[in-house]
Amino acid sequence: MVYTAVLGYGVVGSGVVEVINKNRDSISMRAGDEIAVKKILDIRDFPDSPDKELLTKNAEDVFGDDSISVVVETIGGIGVAYQFTKRALEAGKHVVTSNKELVATHGPELLKLAKEKGLSYLFEASVGGGIPIIRPLGQCLAANEISGITGILNGTTNYILTQMRREGKDFSEALKEAQLNGYAEADPTADVEGHDACRKIAILSSIAYNEYVDYRKIQTQGITKISLTDMQYAEAMDSVIKLVAMSRKQEGRIYARVSPAIVRKEHPLANVEDVFNAIVVSGNALGDAMFYGRGAGKLPTASAVVADVIDIVRHAGSNSANTWKMPEKDNMMDPQEVNGRYFVRIRVRNQEEAARVVNSAFGDVSWVKANNINLEDELAFTTPRATEKVLEQGLSKLKGIGSIRETVNVIKLLED
């Protein structure tokens, strides 16, 4: 019998207890041993919980109990969760978590500590909910040099963008709808500003490239500025707008970015709708592989946590090979030097004159005309492929020109 403790009895934590109870037989068959929850630590009261016999407010009941060998941390955040994770590892207990914020922030330190202690620190559930992605990246694709990851990693924003495109709702309406359905929190900042996706792409990139990618260095832009008009232009380009998290490794340096992107409809990510997530991984032997499923939710996320627990039980201590090398120098590419193409919308006073200015600022642009949009005071175009620096130089040339009022929006095109 292997005893675990669950720290934090919220949505995911209670889901973990539920999955362990519900699938007891198949879990013990897979793990080669029975797995049981011995304690649940939470400072709150849950008088009606079916698990109330296991609940405790006293951390010592967990950390002081030598029979508990695996701790599940589903507290979230980087305060108490960080303290408790260190304390668990120092007490000789393996730790499994769904806490992307903690992994993205203190991953290198916690992985190192786990390794020193001969323990595992596993976090399959931190990215992609129930979609297996962390372990496939680290293990199944281990024979590949991974060159890139491109994903839809945040279900909330994907739901909002899907509602906008399909139902013609504007951003704030679609956000309200997401909140009503429980897909967005009361304070939606972390989702809609891209912070959640940013931490996730940082974790995936750290595993894929085997060195720590600091989420604080990732260019991050959310979806709050995306309008229905932008979507109509995208449609005219036979594309959709998605919040894309991506990273590439080129010549030893890493480029990572979270931003809205215009995605051609034939791209596999274009069909990923509603709260679903998908991750495309590019390897030098494999080519591209895609992983798709529900990126959040109580039981999917809990099932990923429990899979990590099973892995620990099966492999008893031989899991800790993953440590993230801290880069000796800055390992990130200068975003200004990264090539790309952009969709640009500008408000103009005089279309013909403005068009001449645009052509001289950007070179050969492609004009985008949308069926339903016939704004005399607007022009839309895609730029030739160039660095972000050149793009910004182009945009700055549009300023202070009489025929041009302002730049309305700039959205990157997703290229392969």
Of 125, 118, 93, the residue nearest 19 (C-alpha):
125
Catalytic residue among 39, 93, 200, 242: 200
With tokens 């590439």, the residue in question is 248
For 36, other C-beta atoms within 10 Å of its C-beta total 13
**Helix, strand, coil share of the chain (percent; to 5):** 40, 25, 35
Nearer to a copy of itself, 15 or 107 (CB): 15
Q: Tell me the number of residues near a copy of itself by CB under 8 A.
A: 57
Mind giving me the DSSP string for 112-176? Answer: HHHHHTT--EE-GGGSSTTS--HHIIIIITTTSPEEEEEEE--HHHHHHHHHHHHH---HHHHHH
In whole angstroms, the minimum distance from the beta carbon of 77 to a copy of itself comes to 24
Q: Which of residues 257-316 bind a copy of itself (CB under 8 A)?
A: 268, 271, 283-294, 297, 299-300, 302-307, 309-311, 314-316
In whole angstroms, the minimum distance from the beta carbon of 247 to a copy of itself comes to 16
Residue 200: active-site member: yes
Contact yes or no for 236/368 (Cβ under 8 A): yes
Query: In angstroms, how far apart are the furthest CA atoms of the chain?
Result: 77
Nearer to a copy of itself, 91 or 316 (CB): 316
Out of 6, 7, 19, 312, point to the residue binding a copy of itself (CB under 8 A): 19
C-alpha 24/C-alpha 35 separation (Å) is 8
C-alpha 411/C-alpha 383 separation (Å) is 11
In whole angstroms, the minimum distance from the beta carbon of 319 to a copy of itself comes to 8
In whole angstroms, the minimum distance from the beta carbon of 128 to a copy of itself comes to 9
C-alpha 154/C-alpha 159 separation (Å) is 9
Distant-in-sequence, close-in-space partners of 314: CB < 8 Å, separation ≥ 6:
30, 31, 32
Q: Say whether 316 sits in a helix, a strand or coil.
A: coil
Of 61, 72, 129, the residue nearest 95 (C-alpha):
72
Check residue 321 for interaction with a copy of itself (CB under 8 A).
yes
Nearer to a copy of itself, 210 or 227 (CB): 210
Residue 104 tokens read as 């993205």
Q: Which stretch binds a copy of itself (CB under 8 A): 21-29, 37-45, 78-86, 226-234?
A: 21-29
In whole angstroms, the minimum distance from the beta carbon of 337 to a copy of itself comes to 25
User: 262: burial class by Cβ within 10 Å (0-12, 13-18, 19+)?
Assistant: buried
Check residue 326 for interaction with a copy of itself (CB under 8 A).
no
Q: Which of residues 139-158 bind a copy of itself (CB under 8 A)?
A: 139-145
Q: Which stretch binds a copy of itself (CB under 8 A): 102-110, 133-141, 336-344, 367-375?
A: 133-141
Nearer to a copy of itself, 304 or 346 (CB): 304
Q: Which of residues 189-248 bind a copy of itself (CB under 8 A)?
A: 210
Q: Which stretch binds a copy of itself (CB under 8 A): 23-31, 55-63, 228-236, 386-394?
A: 23-31
Nearer to a copy of itself, 47 or 287 (CB): 287
* Residues annotated catalytic, as ranges: 200
- Applying CB under 8 A, which residues contact a copy of itself? 15, 19-20, 22-23, 26-27, 29-32, 124, 130-132, 135-136, 138-145, 210, 268, 271, 283-294, 297, 299-300, 302-307, 309-311, 314-316, 318, 321
